[in-house]
Structure 1
Amino acid sequence: MAVGTGGNNSCIRTAANHSYQSLPGDNVFALYSADTPTATITALAQPSNGGSTFGSGSYPLGGFATVTATANAGYAFLDWTENGNEVSNDFDYTFPVTGDRTLVANFVSTRVLSIVSSPPMGGTTTGAGIHPLGAVVPITATPVPGYQFQFWQSGGVPQSTNPVFEWTINSNWTLTAVFSPFPNTSTFDFDTGSPAVGPGMQLPATQSQNGLTVSFSTLMSSWSIQNNISGFLPQVFSGNFGFPGSLYDNVMELQFSQPLTDLTVSFCTADLAGETDITTQIRVRTFANSTSDPVQTTVWARGDWQQMQYAEGRLDLSAPAPFSVAIIDCPYQGPTSSPMYFFDNLIVQRWVPVAPILQIDHDAVLDPSHLRLHWPAPSTGFVLQRADEPLLPIWITVTEPVVELNGENTVLVPLTAGMGGFRLVLP
């Protein structure tokens, strides 16, 4: 038996005029003698600079052959064809050998479509990537709770107000999905709030945005504001973020100046990819006015490895009742879980009470000189207003006394000529 080494770092052995090849690792291979009938398989690239092929050569009849296509930069693999007819769209094509064949790997020129969200925390998009030149690509924009989609923008020019949109690939291009917050939404991202904060600043701290103030505090006060994790910035973060200083200080209390109904927070848990298969969950609980109140709502969320480092995700909470306090924590979940988490882009929606239905009666017989206005009691905080000009209303508060009777608030307003309209509002 003779032993030799082939040019592809494999081992070639010959015994009694028969040969076989041993490849490193687990591989499928065939043993055949030199006198076995063979067929010639030829793999070509079209265009020639679009990519390369592997697998051309002689194969025993009745066996199997595999050809592989690899695209060059700026190209993408399209399909395998034979005599102009498609035979496979897999870049690895395996087939039985029945005779000579010439296969062509077809490549197409590609362009890069980049899609960004503005602001970054306002929503998510799909459709970005490398696409064939001339392709029509469906793209989507999905706002996060508290935001609404406005329009697609390209080169500073609005393109469509439809969140589901199609874009024709003509060149490398960037599209922007523009989102805007609802009037009752406040976003706390440690970048745009007041007072200004920056990397290295310690918590506790307060931030105000769009008429709402939140206080961030923890038991051990080991948290700070940072802008990277050992040089790494999670994709779900937009800049500065909350950074824990201790494994044992993972309970973050949020106190808000006004009651809320919805809360969204982006997070990153310190689960390293490759060390565990199941990422750690974070938890958010809400309370009416203080942590001594009963828990109103509890929501859990688990991230995934978007960048193959720490697990990233977003938690969305919608409470059935208004709350002014929330707790973010990461309870113990087993020996492979991490108690550490980082957070950013806290988006909340203030509670906006629904105005009660206002009814107006007029009894021309018993009280012809007054209008009777009434609405369900107690309706705390709502004020009755009137405007004499309906087209260009100037609203003033009605000064007549409100009387609560039989579960209703009632006001008698003198009936005057040209009277316009009434409304209930929160001042």
Structure 2
Amino acid sequence: MRCKCQKAESLGGETANERSPVSLPVNGVDSATNIFERGSFALKGNEETQSIEEEAWDLLRASVVCYCGNPIGTIAANDENSGSILNYDQVFIRDFIPSGIAFLLKGEYDIVRNFILYTLQLQSWEKTMDCYSPGQGLMPASFKVRTVPLDSVDSATEEILDADFGEAAIGRVAPVDSGLWWIILLRAYGKCSGDLSVQERVDVQTGMKMILRLCLADGFDMFPTLLVTDGSCMIDRRMGIHGHPLEIQALFYSALLCAREMLAPEDGSADLIRALNNRLVALSFHIREYYWIDLKKLNEIYRYTTEEYSYDAVNKFNIYPDQIPPWLVEFMPSKGGYLIGNLQPAHMDFRFFTLGNLWSIASSLATLDQSHAILDLIEAKWAELVAEMPIKICYPALEGQEWRIITGSDPKNTSWSYHNGGSWPTLLWQNFPEAAFPMGSEHD
């Protein structure tokens, strides 16, 4: 997408001419002083920051990317000492969520508004890989601001947005969670800023409907959960989460709730809203009933009868009790429980996935009792789930032969690192208090 500076007023609240010149040679990032010398992004000069919060804000603002003079996101990582950048200098949809929420809570709404509208323009791009195109409505995994020569003018340049829908990503996996996060952030922007004009725009309504139709499309699946491939969410490398991972289902449920509040009541939306409401009911029942595990449910699984052929079977998914891992018996506290990581025919992934459980609490996908039980488990197993590091993405880590088979001997996901029992603190720590605080003082 090429820079259309005449659109800056409608997107960012200021025209390009009203801003001081900004040099943006690589991905829209030059120096913190240039980027934030105007508006709500003004830094406090070169003063030494005294508090952790001030230092964090300085680092966050130093990672902001501008396009046509407007802030539109934050890069995934800003490590000048790293010799291998890969795609960490891009703006990732999911990685911007904690940054966007922070800016909203700070009252700095422009960057979130710009992010929502510019990523929406990227949605309509034609995506192909080996002559095949995915369904309409897919949002990009990431994008990058590039400065390229202007064809018609010598020595002149222009800025373009270069989007990646997974066709250049490691593993070539489409980002299922990007569209879901986009809808959630759109709702958060309206709630925090009070500006509902963005969600009421025709192009925004159209983009939201495209995402919903892609997610609600009929398929071969018998379950209300979204069927996805491995690596299609925050865990974007092979970790054995293909199927119906909890993280995707929690985001799906939350996005459906947000979309229901924002969809304009018009004749063309009636069927979509009906399908959305039906899916919400079926999805919440499915997750609460079949993904939940505690000591009581664990004892029920031990007594399961297998190979039941009937409409009223108790063991609906033909789960064999022998697949219960030894670690689970020691891990499960007498008080507490959680939502398992995945459920498929004859397979339950008993690993504890933090984001899926926390977001299930925040979105009320989990019942009130289940929400309290999840927090009880985290408190009881604090040494295992947190210990001396930020809260783990999943527990336990894959090790030995299991790691070799499931991850494909992935050297980046070795045991207790990265996705495999490591941490993603910027996303997980923000969701932890968001999930815990509404549950009352007993979990403070």
TM-score by length of 2: 0.23
Larger % of helix: which?
2
Structure index of larger Rg: 1
